Amino acid sequence: MHLYACLFCRSQAICHFLYRFPIFIDATAAAAQRRGNNFLALYADIMTGRIPKANIFRPDISLPIAFEVLVLLWKMMFTGGGGNNKMKSQ
């Protein structure tokens, strides 16, 4: 029973982390666009609990997300924005 309850603790920790640092959600979306459907399917399996949450730290998941975080931070710091906002105020 304790092992089953521990899954909720991990999910809650991930939820709090993403709430505190929402740039990781944007980075995950950018990594999914760059890496394709296989990356997205694996990430979805992790987030829905089909495979253990500890797999989020595997290099094939964590490194592309970390790279995209750095790209987004670079864009925010040096190019004046991180998003692809097509609409501008008129």
Model confidence pLDDT, tens digit, residues 53-75:
889 899 999 999 999 999 999 99
- Where are the chain's structural domains? 2-78
45 C-beta neighbours (distance < 10 Å), count: 13
Model confidence pLDDT, tens digit, residues 9-21:
877 888 899 899 9
Per the listing, tokens 């990430």 go with 43
What is the average pLDDT score of the chain?
84
Q: What is the pLDDT of residue 3?
A: 59
